[in-house]
Amino acid sequence: MQNINMWIILSFLSAFSLASSDALLKRALRYDNEYLLAWLRFLIALPLLFILIMVIPRPELDSTFYIAFFCGIPLEILAMVLYVKALRVSPLSLTLPFLSLTPLFLILFSRIIVSEKVSLMGGIGIVLVVLGGYSLNVSSVSKGFLEPVRAIGRERGVVYMIIVAMIYSITSSLGKVAIEHSSPIFFGATYFTAVTICFTPLVFKNVKLSSYKEVIKDLSLPVVLSGAFFSIMIISHMFAVSMAKVAYMISIKRSSLLIGTIYGFIFFGERNILQRLVGASLMFAGFVLIVTSS
């Protein structure tokens, strides 16, 4: 029971930290190049991870760890680019709900990569979470319940986020494998350090020197806090996924969508928030089924 309670708490902590990091990053997105700010968030998150990795014992690594590690990095970079692009071009409360598709993709990919099977009740819970995420777009129902789906081709941010959801289902499964063959903190710190290093050439290629000077000169508190929350998200995610089936953990983590919707209303003046919150009841029902079936 203690382990069950702990992975749930850590999953919700990861959700809160991710939603907070997203909102702070969106507030700071007043520059022309999203690559730089995405890189900054990862860079600012690294010091805390470095401190932690210095005080933990180094685990014994095998070939399985390295395969999962190096397969995940290019996918993580692609997801990062598309993720921030989605936040830039579309409303926070419209794009983030489509991340609810990740647990649905995980039913397939976690079985293939991690050999994890979800129970019938857990599967129903995952579907409810996905439907709840979809229902957060209920503001479009006046044109038909399937209008959000039909609008996918017209809303670039939504398309980006759907691709991100699928990529995250793969990298989450690969991360679970790597954690099982190392440790949560070791993998989280080394993995995101490697992602930051590999992403750096892409940043230098796409960002003008004047942009660096402008950002450094006007480095804002929201960017720094975004990185701090991101580091908390990484740590809590790694420990939570080590304690539970990855599809269940990510489903709980998708409560970040509800938090993000609230942030969109409070900080960005996004409308139709009350209609989108109709999906909260479906997501909550899904959470209950997942928790009781785990």
Please, what is the average pLDDT of the chain?
82
Does the pLDDT value for residue 126 go beyond 70? yes
The answer to whether 28 and 40 are in contact (CB under 8 A) is: no
Q: Name the pTM for this structure.
A: 0.84
CA distance 233 to 256: 11
Instruction: Provide the number of structural domains found in the chain.
Output: 1
DSSP state at residue 56? S
- CA 18 – CA 193 distance, rounded (Å): 18
Output the pLDDT for position 262: 79
Compute CA distances 274 → 22, 97, 179, 247, 280, whole Å: 20, 14, 39, 28, 10
* Rounded distance between C-alpha atoms, residue 195 and residue 202, angstroms: 11
Q: Is the pLDDT of residue 270 over 90?
A: no
> In this structure, are residues 87 and 95 in contact, taking their beta carbons and an 8 Å threshold?
yes
Averaged pLDDT for residues 255-284: 73
Q: Is the pLDDT of residue 1 over 50?
A: no
43-52, 115-124, 246-255: the lowest-pLDDT one: 43-52
Say if residue 267's pLDDT is above 60. Answer: yes
Give the pLDDT score at 186. 93
Could you list the residue range(s) of the whole structural domain that residue 236 is in?
A: 2-293
Do residues 169 and 111 touch, judged by C-beta distance below 8 A? no
Distance, CA of 30 to chain centre: 22
Tokens coding 259: 């938090």
What single letter denotes the amino acid at residue 63? S
Give pLDDT tens digits for 45-104: 888 888 888 888 889 999 999 999 999 999 999 998 887 788 778 776 567 667 778 889
Check whether 172 has a pLDDT greater than 90: yes
Tell me which residue has tokens 């050999």. 115
134 contact partners, CB below 8 Å, separation of at least 6:
97, 100, 148, 279
H or E element: which one contains 233?
Answer: helix 221-243
Percentage with pLDDT > 90 across the chain: 34
How high is the pLDDT of residue 137?
A: 56
d(CA 262, CA 93): 8
The Cα 165–Cα 37 span in angstroms is 21
Looking at residue 194, its pLDDT comes to 93
* pLDDT for res 246: 93
In the predicted model, what is the mean pLDDT of residues 218-228?
Answer: 76
